[in-house]
Amino acid sequence: MSQMVGRQSIVFDKPPHIEAMASIVGKKEGQGPLGHEFDRIVEDPKFGEDNWDAAESKFQNETARLAITKSGLSKEDIRYIFAGDLLGQLIATTFGIAEFEIPLFGLYGACSTMGESISLGAMTIAGGYADYVMAMASSHFASAEKSFRFPLEYSNQRPFSATWTVTGCGAVIIGKNTGIARIDGITTGKIVDFGVKDAMNMGACMAPAAADVIYRNLKDLKVDYDYYDKIITGDLGYVGQTILIDLLKDRGIDISDRHYDCGIEIFDRVEQDTHSGGSGCGCSASVLCSYILKQLESGNWKRILFIPTGALMSPISFNEGQSIPGIAHAVILSSEERKR
Amino acid sequence: MSQMVGRQSIVFDKPPHIEAMASIVGKKEGQGPLGHEFDRIVEDPKFGEDNWDAAESKFQNETARLAITKSGLSKEDIRYIFAGDLLGQLIATTFGIAEFEIPLFGLYGACSTMGESISLGAMTIAGGYADYVMAMASSHFASAEKSFRFPLEYSNQRPFSATWTVTGCGAVIIGKNTGIARIDGITTGKIVDFGVKDAMNMGACMAPAAADVIYRNLKDLKVDYDYYDKIITGDLGYVGQTILIDLLKDRGIDISDRHYDCGIEIFDRVEQDTHSGGSGCGCSASVLCSYILKQLESGNWKRILFIPTGALMSPISFNEGQSIPGIAHAVILSSEERKR
């Protein structure tokens, strides 16, 4: 009755459930094709705070609060929070969730963090260690640009391979009761380094890690790609999507008819001038906690593989000439209607 | 048969075990009172690399390699790594362990990371999700000073409340078989913010979080402080130790006869001019994976509470005038000889 499957996957004997979700995004995300899907759109990029970092903390705070409210629970019912963001030393998370006084496991997986937080949260529920946990991740365009690229005041040119960091946060409450969707299993990614060094082409950095974890998921579960209605990456963008599909074709797998990328879908390529698409932990987190989970809740999709994708770099490693390795963490999500 | 105990603790029905350990430290740590306890002392602060960050990665790489060798396993046997460091975006971890190609859960808990990594690693083993995992954390004096305080070239004065970041790494292999020590349970900390803003007095930032998680552990388990032979904090230093003991006395608990702080013990206060003591994730990690676990292995200590302590700050949050909240994660470790 082992829950370990293959080299990197877990299939839960007693699958945990996503019982509630919340998403709050910024103005630009609200103007995009998925704008009507989110719980709340915040027009002010500083969210009433003094700086971008404090604004991102407020996105986490308000999204966590909303998820708890929608679950019908109180904060005392949530035994652990699994959370992270892109900023150095996770300051958006620290100052965002401190006031809830809930035991915290701080996570860093770059933009794969929502996959990591749901994975550990689901393991915690299925292991009998908690009745309810929260998993969340956030990003903010301005705090990320300032940290990783150029001060916004430079108004520098962005190459077409560049993505636009999503301002937003997504949070789920995971528990034991039937809810929005079921978490059937996970496949945890390893670091994959193809030697790409271009911080303006993160899709190329992350696509090999996404391909690796998708391939490993299919092998571990001994299923074909059509086991999933959709195979959903976090923020590869247009450039990364092409690379992902090519890499999997090299291994005899063609996911082109069912691949969906949150970064591609969250912005309108023509109208919104975001080049390769959206990115950031908040991209996959906010799209999961709105459009994607609604498709599972309604039964439009029966089973999906959700794979947030991360580019592992810091301003220091970049300036020291290091490559940008990728990592991706996959979560198997099913409609509650579907029998196991 | 629930494993949940009280509000924040888990007691394992089938406790996992620390089966192997490794510690590698720098020259100054090797010259300290615990110098003879570590597996290896590296004289070159750059460990043969071009910069401090790469040097810290090499500490992680070599320590992980040594832990695997000492366990008698191969890297393919290790299902997950739980690891982190102090640097922005965990670059010491990323570039340190990538080549092992082991699925990674990246963690950030500031200097509490070794408590977080052992907690999640133990939950993973006890939950039946893996046969073996590795938990590790590192820090490096020079990469941390550069990130958090001043360039070393300034040779600035350090106040007496300041601690000295340990250069070192500790790693454990956790599994199901009797080994060096048993992991009986954990108490996961929440963020505690007393409003301290002095990055040169991290002991004061962290002591309230340590006091909170120790108090919670005793309440959750319904035991008195003498349940433990030693109550061991990570890196409070002399200043933080005084605050911790006072805060617990206010709650009617006097741990002064059994408190041990890794930061106090790793350096000689008079000879080594480290002021309040050692700090950094590598401090508690390297002292655990040498002196502390040897005391449990030999049966000198029967049961301890190990509590790495973290100060949640970044250079950005500090410059923006934010406080420095603390977090601490406790792990209950027992000698294998002791009956449960």
Task: Give, in order, the Cα–Cα distances in Å from B134 to each of B114, B232, B268.
Answer: 11, 21, 31
Q: How far apart are CA B165 and CA B84, in angstroms?
A: 15
B91 at A interface, C-beta within 8 A = yes
Q: Please answer yes or no on whether B327 and A109 come within 8 Å at the CB atom.
A: no
At A232-286, the pLDDT tens digits run 999 999 999 999 999 999 999 999 999 999 999 999 988 998 888 999 999 999 9
B261 reaches A (C-beta below 8 A): no
Tell me how far CA of residue B109 lies from CA of A125, A263, B1, in angstroms: 21, 29, 30
Among chain B residues, CA nearest to A320 = B51
Contact by Cβ (8 Å): A187, A35: no
Please report, for residues A125, B124, B148, B198, B208, the alpha-carbon distance to residue B201 in angstroms, rounded to integers and kept in the order given: 38, 35, 13, 5, 13
CA nearest to B209, candidates A89, A57, A103:
A103
Residues 6+ apart with CB under 8 A from B212: B189, B190, B192, B328
Q: How many CB contacts within 8 angstroms connect chain A with chain B?
A: 176
Q: Quick: pLDDT tens for A271-324.
A: 998 888 999 999 999 999 999 999 999 999 999 999 999 999 888 888 888 899
Question: What is the average pLDDT score of chain B?
Answer: 94
What Rg value do the Cα atoms of chain B yield, rounded?
18
Strands B230-233, B259-261: pairing kind = parallel
Q: Does A3 touch chain B (CB under 8 A)?
A: yes
Distance from CA of A188 to the nearest CA of B (A): 6
Contact B316 A105 (CB under 8 A): no
Beta carbons of B322 and A106 less than 8 Å apart: no
Contact flag B312-A90 (C-beta cutoff 8 Å): yes
Mean pLDDT of A56-84: 98
Highest mean predicted confidence (pLDDT) among A152-161, B20-29, B139-148: B20-29
B155's CB contacts (< 8 A; 6+ apart) are: none
Q: Pick from A14, A89, A202, A213 the residue to mutate for testing the B interface (most B CBs within 10 Å).
A: A89
Helix (H) or strand (E) holding A230: strand A230-233
Cβ–Cβ under 8 Å, residues B16 and B176: yes
Say if the Cβ atoms of B188 and A103 lie within 8 Å. Answer: yes
B320–A contact, CB cutoff 8 A: yes
Residues of B in contact with A54 (CB under 8 A): 320
* pLDDT digits 0-9 by tens, B154-201: 777 777 788 889 999 999 999 999 999 999 999 999 999 988 888 888
CB-closest option in A90, A95, A116 to B105: A116
Task: Answer left, alpha or beta for residue A224, where phi above 0 means left and psi between -120 and 50 means alpha.
Answer: beta
Contacts of B126 in chain A (CB under 8 A): 127
pLDDT of residue B318: 85
User: Hey, what are A322's tokens?
Assistant: 């290091």
Pairing of strands A104-106, A80-84: parallel
pLDDT score of B202: 86
- Which region among A84-93, A123-132, A217-226, B67-76 has the lowest average model confidence (pLDDT)? A84-93
Q: Say yes or no to pLDDT of B60 above 90.
A: yes
Cα gap B50→B72, rounded to integer Å: 32
Nearest CB to B89 within list A50, A128, A312: A312
What's the mean pLDDT when you consider all of chain A?
A: 94
Interface of B with A in 204-233 (CB under 8 A): none
ipTM: 0.96
Contacting A residues, span 114-153, partner chain B, CB-CB under 8 Å: 116, 119-120, 123-124, 126-131, 147
CA-wise closest residue to A277 among A231, A312, A242: A242
A88–B88 CB contact, under 8 Å: yes
Instruction: Report how far residue B164's alpha carbon sits from residue B81's, in angstroms, rounded to the nearest whole number.
Output: 27
Beta carbons within 8 Å of B256's beta carbon, 6+ residues apart: B245
Contact B116 A106 (CB under 8 A): yes
In order, the DSSP letters of A118-129 are HHHHHHHHHTTS
Strands B181-187 and B17-26 turn out to be antiparallel
State both tokens at B103.
Answer: 């699925």
Could you give the CA distance from residue B35 to residue A43 in angstroms, rounded to a whole number?
57
Q: Could you tell me where the DSSP H helices lie in chain B?
A: 27-30, 52-71, 91-97, 113-126, 141-148, 202-221, 237-250, 262-266, 269-272, 281-287, 293-298, 315-319
pLDDT in tens, B233-243: 999 999 999 99
CB-based contact (8 Å) between A287 and chain B? no
- Whether residue B202 lies within 8 A of chain A, CB to CB, comes out as no
Chain A stretch 169-188, residues whose beta carbon is closer than 8 A to a beta carbon of chain B: 188
The pTM (predicted TM-score) of the whole model is 0.97
B79 touches chain A (CB under 8 A): yes
Question: C-alpha dihedral over A90, B114, B125, A81, to 10 degrees?
Answer: -30
